[in-house]
Amino acid sequence: MGLASAGMMALLLAVPAAALPKDFKAQADAIVAASAAADGPGIQVAVSEHARIVYTAERGMADIAARRPITVATEFRIGSITKQFASAVLLQMVAEGKVALDDPLAKFLPTFLGGKGITVRQLLNHTSGIQSYTDIPGWMVVANTARPYSTEQLIAVFKDLPPVKKPGEAWSYNNSGYVLVGAIIEAVAKRPWHEEVARRLAGPNRLASIRYGKDPAVGPAMATGYAGADAKAPVGQAIDMSVPAAAGALVGTASDLTRWDDALHRGKVLTAPIYAQMIAPTRMPDGSTAPYGFGLIPGKVRGLASVGHSGGIFGFLSDTLYLSGPDISVAVLVNSDEPQSGPGAVSRKLAALAAGKPYPVFTPQPLDKAAVEPFLGTYTLRGEDRVLKVEKDELIWQRTDGRTTLIPVGDGRYTMGKAGLSWIVLSRDAAGKPQVALFDDGENIDGTLARTGPVPVEAAAVDVPAATLARYVGTYTAPTGRVTVAQGTSGLTVQLTGQPALALRPVSTTEFAVEKVEARVRFVEEGGRIVRLEIVQGGQTLPATRD
C-alpha cells in the first residue's frame, strides 16, 4: 500500500529536537504521584518526543491482593483506544481498494436492518444512527458481560433494533458501529479483526504488548481492574473481551501506545490523504462539525493542536494525546474505573508540561462559607439544573447524574476534585447577580450559568423503626439485574449488580433518597409483605421484584 510521501517523511523526521523543560521530570513525577495511591489501583504513563520515549512512570498496584506493583511492562485494557486501531486497519483496506468509505454496510452484512442506508464512513465517525448496544437499558449487567460472544452473536444483540436516528442525521458515540467495523474487517480479510490488527499494525511497528484481550499471551503482566481508588477497592465487573470487540478489546502498555502514536502520526501507517480524513472533524448536514474523525478526536491543549482518544471499560480507564506541533505523544493507563485522578486530566497536564505550556498549579484553601453563601442556589445549563450547596463544611456541585466536591483555590475559583482540570468561577454579572462560569478542560469555558433559584429544600429525614427497615432487607430482581438492600451501620444501603453500595436516607417509612445520586427507592407492600421496590431516577421508574 502507498504511504505518506518520502518528502513528507523527510520533513517530519528533520524536525530538530526541542529540549523538555529542565524541571520536567520533577513536575511530571509530582503529577503522577498526585494521581494514584501507592497501595491502591495505580497508573502507568509514557511520554515521547520526536518518536523517542523521554519519560515513563508508574505508581500503585497491578494486583492489590498479591501486592504486585505496576511496572513499565504491566499491561492494561485500553478500552476505546482500540477504535483507532480498528479504524486504521479498515482505512488501509480503503487505500488498497478493498473497501470504500461510502460502501453500504449491506455490502458486507446483507441481513443487517437498514444496512443499505448506512455507510462505512458513518460507522467510523459515529453518525450511523444505530442503537449502541452498551446503551441498551439493562444489557450491561454481569450476566451478559461475563459470557463470550462470536461476532455474529454480538451483532445479534442490536441488529434488529430500530435506529435511534436516520443515518448521517446526527452524531452520537456508538460502540455498535465499531463492532460492525470489526465485522467488515473480518468479511474482507476472512480472519478475526484482531488478527488483522496484529498482522498490519502491531507486528510491523513492534508493538509487542498491543494485542487482543483474549490472546493466550495475556497473563502474568496483566493488571487487575478495580472499581475504586484505594487499597480496599473491589475488583471491577467481569467482562469477557469478546463483548467490547473492535470497539474496545485490546490491551497494551503506555510505552507501546506512544510508539503507536509515533507510527500513526508520522506517516508510517496510512496514506497522507486518508490520514487527513481520519483526524478531521465530522461535518454534519447543517454545516456544523462534530469533534470526531475516524476513531480519533481532534482538539487543542493549551492552544496547541492535538488528536487523541480516551477509553473506559470495567476496571480500567485510558487516554492518549498527540500534539503535532511539538511532536509529543502521551499515554496514560489506570487500572480503576473510579480512579483518584482521571487519565484525561493527567495526559493533558503531561502534554502541556512537555510542550512548555503547563497548566497552573493550584493550592487548596479553606472554604470561606461567608464568601460562597450569596452564590448558593440552583443554576441551569442547557436545560439541566445544577445545585451549588454546602454540606458538612464542603462545597458541593450537584448534577442529576452525580455530585462533585469543589476545592477552593482562590480568586473565586473552585476545582472539581484535587487533581482534575475542571473548575467553576463564582462572579457577578453586569447587574450584580450571581453567576457560575464552568470550565470543563482547564482552559475553555463550557458555559456561564445564571442562578435560577434557591437550593432545593430536601425532605427531612424521618425515623423508621428498625423492624420496618428489616422488612426491606433482601434481594430483588430488576430487568437490569440484581438489586440488594442491606442493613448498614447507619441505615439501609442499596446496590445494583456491578455498582457500589449507596446509603439510603428515609423521607417516609416507605420511600428513601439515594445518597450521592438524584434517585429515590420506594418499597411496595401487598398482602402484608414487601413484594417489590421501585427505583425512580430521571423521570423513569425501574421496578424490581423481591426474590
Give the model confidence (pLDDT) of 207-245 as tens digits: 999 999 999 888 889 999 998 899 999 999 999 999 999
Check whether 58 has a pLDDT greater than 90. Answer: yes
Which pTM was predicted? 0.80
The C-alpha R_g of the chain, in whole angstroms, comes to: 25
Banded model confidence at residue 15, pLDDT cuts 50, 70, 90: very low
pLDDT over 70 at 460, yes or no: no
Checking if the pLDDT of 449 tops 80, the result is: yes
Whole-angstrom distance, CA of residue 400 vs CA of residue 540 = 13
pLDDT of residue 34: 92
- Give yes or no for a contact between 418 and 339, defined as CB atoms under 8 angstroms apart: no
Q: Which residue has the higher pLDDT, 361 or 523?
A: 523
Cα→Cα distances 516→133, 275, 426, 504, Å: 27, 44, 23, 10
Domains plus CATH for the chain? 6-354 (3.40.710.10), 369-453 (2.40.128), 466-546 (2.40.128)
Q: Torsions phi, psi of 39, nearest 5?
A: -110, 10
Confidence of residue 461 (pLDDT cuts 50, 70, 90): low
What number is the average pLDDT over the span 471-499? Answer: 83
CA-based end-to-end distance of the chain: 60
Q: What is the reported pLDDT for 254? A: 99
State pLDDT tens for residues 393-447.
Answer: 899 988 765 678 899 999 899 998 777 788 899 999 999 999 999 887 777 677 8
Distance CA 225, CA 209 (A): 17
The mean predicted confidence, pLDDT, of the chain is: 90
Q: Is residue 8 pLDDT above 70, yes or no?
A: no
3-state secondary structure 62-129: EECCCCEECCCCCEEECHHHHHHHHHHHHHHHHHCCCCCCCCEHHHCCCCCCCHHHCEHHHHHCCCCC
